[in-house]
Structure 1
Amino acid sequence: MRIQILPPQLVNQIAAGEVVERPASVIKELLENAFDAGAGTVHVDVERGGLALIRVRDDGCGIVREDLPLALSRHATSKIATLRDLERIRSMGFRGEALPSISSVARLRLTSRTADDACGWSVVADGTEDGFEFQPAAHPPGTTVEVRDLFYNTPARRKFLRSDKTEFSHIDTLIRRMALSRFGTGFQLRHNQREILNLRPATEEHEQSARVALLCGDAFLQQSLRLDFAVGELRLTGWLGLPTFSRSQPDLQFFYVNGRLVRDKIVSHALRLAYDDVLYHGRHPAYVLHLEIDPVLVDVNAHPAKLEVRFRESGLVHDFLHRGVKRVLADHRPGQEPTATGLASVQAPAFPEAQPFGGSRTPAQAPLSFGVADQVRAYADLYRPSPKSAGSPMAAPSGQEIPALGFALAHLHGAYILAESQEGLVVVDAHAAHERITYEKLKRQWSCGAVACQPLLLPVQIAVSAAEADLVEKHGEELAALGLELSCAGPGSVLIRGIPALLDEVDAESLVRDLLSDLVLHGRSSRLEQYRHEILSTLACHGSVRANRKLTVPEMNALLREMEATENSGQCNHGRPTWVQFSTRDLDRLFLRGR
């Protein structure tokens, strides 16, 4: 068969296979066009899950009559004109394929009016990109795109669609996600002429919080940190769920890059690493985060549906997110309002993950004391109530305000501390709290000490890929700083000569393979730090207050004060909560007081 040029409608139908998967993907493209038009409010009407009708109306700038045919033609757009524009894309859409692709698989009508026109104009398209007929239309400034009978002329693709209810659920989820990306835009969603969602523009901070609570739940808003910090060309804002507010599925994770909802392995890895050792195993963090970055530093043209991006400085972005989020979580203390703003700096080290272990090394560290009795007595010395307060645990020492976790009342069943705070009743798991305190102290001491290398009696030779061997050559000194002594024994072979002394019982080959695999995939590795965390966590657990160990009031109060000063004290090393608070209102409601 001879080579031939495909007809425009078939070309558009092929393109539609990339951007028009289901009704929700049609709405995504139309909403992005509305955002680029500067819409203050968008109205979305669907019938039968979008299979019968999709209508998106906005109050944006509109399209002049002469440009309507161009809007329905491939690769025609007002958003880019040169290669320089393509390298610094600020708009949501830029390919000029959405409308012609949709019109090739559905019946599409485009109606628009600019503020300077006396009336609007309407045109019908079928994907052929010719034969357009204009008709005047009564229309306010803005644009309406009406899509009927999706996939009517491609029945094979229509068979892959699900029930009306399922397709609408995808639409509802999409609009809620996009509403979290554009707080300044109002959204109205109707299904089968019934209003489902009506969100007004949210410009003030309390209005934005109210939208987050509506779309993500009150529990998420109440148990999240409001953050806003920047370093250089990067700025991160949004809501960060506390480790104790976790999910069984990653269904409350929304990450936006310059207003665009994306899925990115670098981002996911950085945020997962930031929650390392504070999240219960098998659980997923929740967040609504917005990354603002110079468009030159991010490529949004890496996926047909624009769901993925490519960062030009992926290591910088990873470290900015990882260290920034980790610091926000660590800095949150009991009694603080759930807000974090103005983080001063998040430095990216030359070799990621090397810095926490410390740069200089000494032959040995000072011995660490794990004596429980010694530590508890030290805690007791930190706080001694005055004689006046002996009969009233809630009475603060002279000149001292009531602290966030209050003052101890009793030690229940040898496990739980009951304390009276300004807000109500605080219940603390003494072992879990002490475990976190001990763990954080061990981490600090370890980071300031040596990463001693334990030479192997016989070097272990392993086969690796060429890329992995290059990494060993490139980062040999940095790996040695982590206690790993590796050398290349050929193009596809590496010799393991030594491993960190603290990890002497770890399978050396598995450790190195996992580390090199992480370095190839992410440009960094958290394996060593994870192993270190596990070992230090075990030591901390054995060095903490055990259950049924009766604590005195001074000891309990001293432990509460330590919790207030310790990073990540809201959860133990395994991610379980260390304390909960019942406000007086909660207690009144429990006992039906005031009814």
Structure 2
Amino acid sequence: MPTIRRLPESLVNRIAAGEVVERPAAALKELIENAIDSGARTIVVSLVEGGLDRIEVTDDGCGMTPEEMALALERHATSKLPDDAIEQVATLGFRGEALPSIASVARFTLESRPKGAAQGWRKVVDHGEMVEDGPAALPPGTRVRVEHLFGKIPARRKFLRTARSEYAACLDVVRRLAMARPDIGFTLEHGGRRVLALQSGQGLVERVAQVVARELKENGVPIDFERPTQSGTMTLGGIAGLPTYNRGVADHQYLFVNGRPVKDRLLIGAVRGAYADMLARDRHAVLALFLDLPPEEVDVNVHPAKTEVRFHDSAGVRGFIVSGLRHALSTGDRRSAQAPDAAAMGRWTSEPVQPDPAPSLQSLFSGRDWSGSSASVREAPTVWRSPEAEVADVPQSHTASAPFGRAEEAAPLPEDVAAYPLGIARGQVAETYIVAEAEDGLVIVDQHAAHERLVLERLRASGAEEAVARAQALLIPEVVELDEPDCDRLEGATEKLATMGLAIERFGPGAMLVRSLPHALAKADPHQLLADIADDLAKHGEALLLGEKLDLVLATMACHGSVRAGRVLSVAEMNALLREMERTPRSGQCNHGRPTWVKLALEDVEKLFGRH
């Protein structure tokens, strides 16, 4: 039998370092968090070779005395907890905890000078061994230098990535922490080149836009939402990009809980649920969300690097985020990512969506088959024949294609044109795009994409969403065998799934009994459907997939029931479509996340002709 022995202190420190310091970015995160908690107003970060050779963090915070520096280099010493209530963590982790772990796997230099002190102090630890301890000259604040990370541990060093990859991870850390604290100035230098320079005292939206993308400010909506809880108030702030302003990967979704950057699957699932039916499946929203709630309602110590959290009421938090995001997007959901004039956007009407189409739109909806079949909505292609060809009876195959543009005789703009942000229809291009004149520019509308969104919202208003989710009982209930953890997840979501028409119940440790399926998915394979939903629950903590499938059915119905590209519209129909868009939620993007209209300002038109 192996002998149990106590590990040496040096090996204990290295094991602890492996939990916290897995790469340069992890060490940099700990050092910046310490600088933030010290009350710094300016933080300067310097990297060499992506942090592999050197990481240096300088702040102008409160500083430390030599005695406090010695304590900060001891294991399990911290100023984060004023007492033994670990659930009341209100800081990021000021001084201590990670410092001895970093010092055990690198050459670590700690220099600090409290405000008002005559001189500073320096301590140098080389892979766990104190090699220098004496006075130092530096301004008030703290400077920490980490050199040759894992230099004496080649087994760990060889698993680090290239300098370019490590630098990208460090840059992401600085960006996330800088977004969380717009009141602090951040400077990042890499190899002597200044990469990031952020001034202190910025607003939250301005800081996020400067760090993520400058166009996010014009293509996003601010978030300010709150809800009372049992022990306080839960608030949601930040900025959310419009659905038409999206990316192919989810690397521009920044999530913060009580000022701490996290990558939590529950929060990611909430974002996905909020943008469902406004984004294509392969596109991802751009946003920065800041969730603040009482410390006792969230556990930040479930992960060594504190990148994941656990909520006391996870379902309530998810619903709060979805509601807050959708409420914010409802204020700008008629916009497209081309950022039309803000003054014109302020004149949108708040008229509710009407289940019945506008009188002038009757010709667009008449004869439509809402069953999803496309046979009744295809438009017969038209071929233009000149009057001379008609008289000469020229065969149709020899005539030209229809003209791509069609315009009506221009008429003066009505006096109340300011009430119409999408303007007055002037013509049609390629039998697909409506050209309208607004008071402040030229508007081009994709008639199929726009009408597709109108039809979807009208279907929802008329109760079609409930009809799609109506349960259809199986003649013989079907038994689906799954792993026991999957069955546990499905059993916990039975009530939510039942509201969508999927009735299931537990049938032993490793099986579920399916009694009914949603009407729109009656022909689906129960085994595959439950397996997919179980995977969805494991990934996001919420059954999003079934709702997406039902939304896809509605979207398909709306697509087949909408005006097709190539349909010739009268001016009355064009104007009716524009007016309907102005009072319909989410009309700025179609069901697939594409913009439905763009605007070219008059100033831009004049620049094209050199009239500016």
TM bracket, shorter-chain basis: 0.7 to 0.9
> Aligned pair 1:587/2:605, yes or no?
yes
**Per-residue displacement from partner, 1:445-495 (whole Å, max 9, x unpaired)?**
227856533222222222244455566766656544432333444444333
Q: Which residue of 2 aligns with 1:259?
A: 259
Distance in 2 separating the partners of 1:474 and 1:306: 27
Indicate the SS of the match to 2:284. Answer: coil
Q: Which residue of 1 aligns with 2:292?
A: 292
Deviates more, 1:218-227 or 1:256-265: 218-227
- The 8 Å contact of residues 180 and 212 in structure 1, kept in 2 or not, is answered as yes
- The 8 Å contact of residues 372 and 543 in structure 1, kept in 2 or not, is answered as no
Q: Which amino acid aligns with 2:418?
A: E
Indicate the SS of the match to 1:139. Answer: coil
Deviates more, 1:295-304 or 1:369-378: 369-378
Q: Which amino acid aligns with 1:104?
A: S
Q: Which residue of 2 aligns with 1:147?
A: 146
Post-superposition offset of 1:95: 8.9
Distance in 1 separating the partners of 2:151 and 2:541: 47
Tell me: CA distance 1:409–1:514, structure 2 relative to 1, closer, same or farther (3 Å): same
**Per-residue displacement from partner, 1:359-387 (whole Å, max 9, x unpaired)?**
xxxxxxxx999999725489xxxxxxxxx
> Aligned pair 1:123/2:123, yes or no?
yes
Q: Which residue of 2 aligns with 1:16?
A: 17
Q: Which residue of 2 aligns with 1:412?
A: 429
Deviates more, 1:585-594 or 1:526-535: 585-594
Q: Which residue of 2 aligns with 1:282?
A: 282
> Aligned pair 1:462/2:458, yes or no?
no
TM-score (ref. length: structure 1): 0.85
Distance in 2 separating the partners of 1:285 and 1:575: 10
- The 8 Å contact of residues 394 and 421 in structure 1, kept in 2 or not, is answered as no
Q: Which residue of 1 aligns with 2:227?
A: 231
> Aligned pair 1:538/2:556, yes or no?
yes
Tell me: CA distance 1:22–1:435, structure 2 relative to 1, closer, same or farther (3 Å): same
- The 8 Å contact of residues 393 and 407 in structure 1, kept in 2 or not, is answered as no
Distance in 2 separating the partners of 1:471 and 1:53: 46
Indicate the SS of the match to 2:100. Answer: helix
Post-superposition offset of 1:191: 2.5
Distance in 2 separating the partners of 1:567 and 1:593: 37
Unaligned runs of 5+ in 2: 346-354, 367-407
Distance in 1 separating the partners of 2:193 and 2:7: 42
Indicate the SS of the match to 1:222. Answer: coil
> Aligned pair 1:374/2:369, yes or no?
no
Indicate the SS of the match to 1:176. Answer: helix
Distance in 2 separating the partners of 1:156 and 1:517: 36
Tell me: CA distance 1:189–1:438, structure 2 relative to 1, closer, same or farther (3 Å): same
**Per-residue displacement from partner, 1:25-73 (whole Å, max 9, x unpaired)?**
2211110100111111011122333233222111111112221111111
Indicate the SS of the match to 1:180. Answer: helix
Aligned 1:188-587 pairs, distance under 5 A? 188-203=187-202, 205=203, 208-232=204-228, 233-332=233-332, 333-334=334-335, 337=342, 374=362, 376=364, 393=411, 395-397=413-415, 401-446=418-463, 452-466=470-484, 479-519=497-537, 522-587=540-605
Distance in 1 separating the partners of 2:476 and 2:427: 57
Distance in 2 separating the partners of 1:196 and 1:545: 49
Q: Which residue of 2 aligns with 1:382?
A: none
**Superposition RMSD on alpha carbons, in Å?**
3.0
Distance in 1 separating the partners of 2:31 and 2:473: 62
Q: Which amino acid aligns with 1:296?
A: E
Tell me: CA distance 1:300–1:394, structure 2 relative to 1, closer, same or farther (3 Å): farther
Tell me: CA distance 1:487–1:394, structure 2 relative to 1, closer, same or farther (3 Å): farther
Indicate the SS of the match to 1:530. Answer: helix
Q: Which amino acid aligns with 1:229?
A: F
Q: Which residue of 2 aligns with 1:173?
A: 172
Indicate the SS of the match to 1:28. Answer: helix
Tell me: CA distance 1:194–1:535, structure 2 relative to 1, closer, same or farther (3 Å): closer
Post-superposition offset of 1:75: 0.4
Distance in 2 separating the partners of 1:301 and 1:145: 25
Q: Which amino acid aligns with 2:449?
A: A
TM-score (ref. length: structure 2): 0.82
**Per-residue displacement from partner, 1:62-90 (whole Å, max 9, x unpaired)?**
11222111111110011115442x10211
Distance in 2 separating the partners of 1:18 and 1:465: 31
- The 8 Å contact of residues 225 and 235 in structure 2, kept in 1 or not, is answered as yes
Deviates more, 1:572-581 or 1:191-200: 191-200
Deviates more, 1:523-532 or 1:216-225: 523-532
- The 8 Å contact of residues 127 and 152 in structure 2, kept in 1 or not, is answered as no
Distance in 2 separating the partners of 1:593 and 1:211: 36
Q: Which amino acid aligns with 1:138?
A: A
Indicate the SS of the match to 1:486. Answer: strand
Post-superposition offset of 1:515: 3.4
Post-superposition offset of 1:5: 2.5
**Per-residue displacement from partner, 1:202-242 (whole Å, max 9, x unpaired)?**
33x3xx44433332222222211111111123211111111
Distance in 2 separating the partners of 1:125 and 1:75: 17
Q: Which amino acid aligns with 1:219?
A: E
Q: Which amino acid aligns with 1:15?
A: A
Distance in 1 separating the partners of 2:255 and 2:590: 27
Distance in 2 separating the partners of 1:10 and 1:394: 84
Post-superposition offset of 1:438: 0.7
Tell me: CA distance 1:500–1:551, structure 2 relative to 1, closer, same or farther (3 Å): same
Tell me: CA distance 1:126–1:476, structure 2 relative to 1, closer, same or farther (3 Å): closer
**Per-residue displacement from partner, 1:499-526 (whole Å, max 9, x unpaired)?**
2223323333333443355456555312
Distance in 1 separating the partners of 2:540 and 2:159: 35
Q: Which amino acid aligns with 1:494?
A: M
- Number of residue equivalences: 550
Tell me: CA distance 1:254–1:449, structure 2 relative to 1, closer, same or farther (3 Å): closer
**Per-residue displacement from partner, 1:225-262 (whole Å, max 9, x unpaired)?**
11111112321111111111111121211111111111
Tell me: CA distance 1:100–1:431, structure 2 relative to 1, closer, same or farther (3 Å): same
